[in-house]
Amino acid sequence: MAAILLAASCGGGDDSQSDTPATSSPPASEPTAAPEAPPSAAAPELVIGRVLPETGSLSASIGGALIAGVELAVADINAQGGNVKLIAGDSATDPDVAPETVNRLLGEGANVIIGAAASGVSQSIIQTLYDTQIPQCAASNTSPSFSTQANAEFYFRTVTVAVGESQVMANSMASRGATNVAIANRADDYGSSLARLLADDLAELGVTSQTVTFDPNSPSFDATVAEIVEMGVDAVALIAFEEGISITRRLIEMGVPGWAIHLTAGQFDFGMPERVNPTDPTVVDGLRVQSPSGSEEFNQRVFEKTGGNAIYGGQAYDCAVILALAALTAGGVDGPEIIAVVPEITRNGQKCRSYRECAELVVQGVDIDYDGVSGPLEMDDVGDTTVGRYLLAEVRDGELEVIETVDVSLDQ
C-alpha cells in the first residue's frame, strides 16, 4: 500500500472546496534552465534512442510532455558538461510499430532507450532490449508486471507502479463521499492491473466497487456505459486512454454527473472538457483526474514547449539524467555496466539535484543520491521508483485546474 507523504494544497484539508490551485516548492538547487558549462572529458558519449508517441492514442494526452521532458534533459545535460546525443523514434502507441522503431534506433547506434509510453507497448520491445543488453527507462509505465518478469533485467522506470496512482485516486474518491464505485478498465495490462489495485484500495477505505472491462478498439462503448448505469453506483473510475473521451461523453449523456467521474493519467489533457463537449465544457465540471508529474517549477518549462501539458514530463527528464549519470559512473556505455549502477545513484549517497551537481560528485568518486524533478525517486533493486509525485486536477467552469500536488511513498 502507498502512504501519502505530502498533500500540499491551498485551503487546508478540504481539497474539494479550494478555488486556488495548489503549488509545491521545489528545492532551490533544482535546475530551471540549462547553465552553460564546458563539456567534461570524463563523460562518455551516450546515444539515447527515444521511443515515444508522436502519433497514436497517447500522442494527444501524454506524448508531447514526454518528448519535451527528454529534449529538455538532453539540452541541460550537454550544457552542464555531459555528452549526450538523442535519436528520435515514434512508438505510435502501437505494439506492432514500436519494435520496428527500436530496431532502427539500435541500428543507428542507440546505447539506451527511453520509452515506450504505454506498458503494453513496452512489453513489445522489452525482450529485444533484454537480448541486446540495452538499458531501457520508462517514464510512464505503471504495470506491476515489470517488477517480477525475467526479461526486465535491463528495464527501470521513474514513475511509481500503479499502486501509487491507485492510492491517490482512491483517496480522492473516498474523500468526496463515494460509497459504491464502478471501475471501468480497458482490456490490457495497464487497465487490468490498475483496476485490481484500485478495487483493493477502495475496499481498504470502506468503499465497495464493481468492475467492467471494455475493448478499447470497440466501435461503440454504449454497452459498457449501459452496464455502468445499470450498476446503480454513485461514482465511476474510468481507466482508459484516448477512448476515454467517448466513454466520458456517453456517461454524461446518460445522466452521470461530472463530479461522479474520476479519470486516470492516460486521460490527463487540459483540452479534455472541450473535447467531451465543444459547445458546453462545463458539463464535466467536478470531474477529477490525476497524473504523475514534475515539480511546479519544472512543469513551467514543459508548458512552454507543449502549450500547457506537463504530465510525465518530469519522469522523462529524470530518465535521461539517470542514464547519463549512470554512463558517467560506469565509465562507458556498456549496457550491463550502466544498468548495474542505476538504482544506486538514486539512493543512499550524497544528495544532488542536477546533472552538473551530481556529475561533479561522481568525478570526485562520491556516491550520489539523485533527487529528480519528479521527486526523490529512491529506486529499489529491481528498478522501481518508490517515491513519486502526482498532480490532482478538477474541472471547474469548463477548465481543468490543478488543485493539489501529492508525493507518494510506497512501503517497502
pTM of the model: 0.79
CATH (one of 3.40.50.2300, 1.20.120.10, 3.40.50.1820, 3.40.30.10) for 162-291+390-410: 3.40.50.2300
Residue 8's pLDDT is what?
36
Residue in 206, 306, 270, 220 with CA at minimum distance from that of residue 399: 270
pLDDT attached to residue 14: 35
Q: Is 187 helix (H, G, I), strand (E, B) or coil?
A: coil
Q: Provide the pLDDT for residue 287.
A: 98
Q: How many CA atoms lie within 13 A of 64 on its CB side?
A: 16
Which CATH number does 32-161+295-388 carry? 3.40.50.2300
Segments of the chain scoring below 70 in pLDDT: 1-42, 411-412
Alpha-carbon distance of 252 to 391, in angstroms, equals: 24
Classify each residue of 246-281 as buried b or exposed e, where b means 16 or more C-beta atoms within 10 Å of its C-beta: bbbbbbbeeebbbbbbbbbbbbbbbbbbbbbbeeeb
d(CA 298, CA 247): 32
CB-CB contact of 143 with 118 (8 Å) = no
pLDDT of the residue at 17:
34
CB atoms within 10 A of CB 203: 12
Answer yes or no: same fold for 32-161+295-388 and 162-291+390-410.
yes
pLDDT digits (tens, 9 = 90+) for 193-210: 899 999 999 999 999 999
Neighbouring C-alpha atoms within 13 Å toward the C-beta of 392: 29
Closest Cα partner for 156 from 381, 404, 391?
381
pLDDT at 231: 97
Half-sphere exposure in the Cβ direction for 23 (13 Å, CA): 8
- What lies within 8 Å, CB to CB, of 223 at 6+ separation is none
Question: 141-175 as b/e, with b when 16 or more CB fall inside 10 Å?
Answer: bbbbbbeebeebbbbbbbbbbbbbbbbbbbbbbbe
State whether residue 331 is helix, strand or coil: coil
What would the DSSP string read from start to end of 257-308?
-GGGEEE-GGG--TTHHHHH-SS-GGGGTT-EEEEE---HHHHHHHHHHHSS
pLDDT at 32: 46
Q: What are the residue ranges spanned by the domains of the chain?
A: 32-161+295-388, 162-291+390-410
| Residue listed under C-alpha cell 462503448 | 221
